[in-house]
Amino acid sequence: MTKFEIRGLRADVLIGAEERQEILKGVDLTINSGETHAIMGPNGSGKSTLAYAIAGHPKYEITDGEVLLDGENVLEMGVDERARAGLFLAMQYPVEVPGVSMSNFLRSAVTAVRGEAPKLRAFSKELQEAMKGLSIDPSFAARGVNEGFSGGEKKRHEILQLELLKPKVAILDETDSGLDVDALKVVSEGINRARATGEIGVMLITHYTRILNYVKPDFVHVFAHGQVAESGGPELAEVLEAEGYERFVKAGA
């Protein structure tokens, strides 16, 4: 049983050497293992900032608040330590790392997170199966990390990493965007396989209810102006789908 708590989190985006702008204005959210929380909100409201700030992205600086994973202060950890502690972020725009092969990268990541190098044979089998489950062609293993991948291919590989690294908390930032219907299904199945253990808490950031038909949320939160503006059950997603975010966009403006 894992408890992931975000308390009063404030963060700035670092724009230039001098310039910064506050984006997160006091975020409170608690996610327990076995729960899936959908975060929905208008463009520019700070959803990705929340995800990146928690992961420790160098462009964002946390100015106040806490992030606790089973009581441990995540913000005092380095980026890699956070991941080894059980935090995972599937990025809205996964990064291309030229020249580093996907297989080499995945093996390094799995070794780091599991604390020991997996047996080569066993790992290559595990990787092949995980790739197959996400309809990823085996040839991708030899390519550079995300190098020249299409948007949809990048998203599949984020979920591949989710399945291999088995985190305690997964933040999925618009994993559904840029996916066609078939790809959405495949990716959702991957997320559901990870959820099936009941030992993972999921924060699912999305604009659309489309993915929520496959990955059923337990809670839905509306994110606006750098805060959680409203929380409810799955029915809130339906309301948002019908009404849009207008009410929230205006509210804080």
Partner 1 sequence: MASPNIEIKEHSHGGELPVSKLDVHGSFDVADFPVPNGREEEWRFTPLRRLRGLHQHTEATDGKITVETDAPAEVTVETVGRDDARLGTSFLPTDRVSALAYASFTEATVVTVPKETQASAPVSIKVTGTGQGESYGHILVRAERHSAATVVLEYAGSAVHADNVEFVVEDGAQLTVVSLQDWERDAVQVSHHYTKVGRDARFRSFVVTLGGDLVRLSPKVGYTAPGGDAELYGLYFTGAGQHHEHRSLIDHNVSNTRSRVEYKGALSGEEAHAVWIGDVIIGEGTEGTDSYEHNRNLVLTDGTRVDSVPNLEIFTGEVEGAGHASASGRLDDIHLFYLQSRGIPADEARKLVIRGFFAELINRIEVPELRERIMTEVEEKLALHE
The site for partner 1 (CB under 8 A) is made up of 55-58, 78-80, 82-84, 89, 91, 94-95, 97-101, 104-105, 108-109, 112-113, 144-145, 161, 165
Q: How far is the CB of 23 from Mg ion (least distance, A)?
A: 11
Q: Which does 44 bind (CB under 5 to 8 A by kind): partner 1, ligand ATP, Mg ion, none?
A: ligand ATP
Residue 43 CB, nearest approach to ligand ATP (Å): 4
Q: Which long-range contacts (CB under 8 A, 24 or more apart) does 129-134 make?
A: 130/160, 130/163, 130/164, 131/160, 133/163, 133/189, 133/190, 133/193, 134/159, 134/160, 134/163, 134/186, 134/187, 134/190
> Which does residue 13 bind out of ligand ATP, partner 1, Mg ion, none, counting CB within 5 to 8 angstroms by kind?
ligand ATP
39-72: burial string, b at 16+ Cβ within 10 Å, e else: bbbbeebbbbbbbbbbbbbeebebeebebebeee
Least separation, in Å, of the C-beta of 59 and partner 1? 8
CA separation for the pair 30, 203 (Å, rounded): 10
Position among 6, 9, 11, 23 found at the interface with ligand ATP (CB under 6 A):
23
Q: How far apart are CA 58 and CA 156, in angstroms?
A: 25
In the chain, which residue ranges form alpha helices assigned H by DSSP? 47-55, 79-85, 102-114, 120-133, 151-165, 181-195, 235-243, 246-252
Say whether residue 33 binds ligand ATP (CB under 6 A). no
Q: Smaller CB distance to partner 1: residue 101 or 231?
A: 101
By CB under 5 A, tell whether 175 contacts Mg ion.
no
Instruction: Compare residues 33 and 48 and give the one whose CB is closer to ligand ATP.
Output: 48
- C-alpha 155/C-alpha 187 separation (Å) is 8
Q: Does 175 bind ligand ATP (CB under 6 A)?
A: no
Closest contact distance (angstroms) between CB of 178 and ligand ATP is 12
Per-residue binding string, Mg ion, 22-61, x by CB under 5 A, is: -------------------------xx-------------
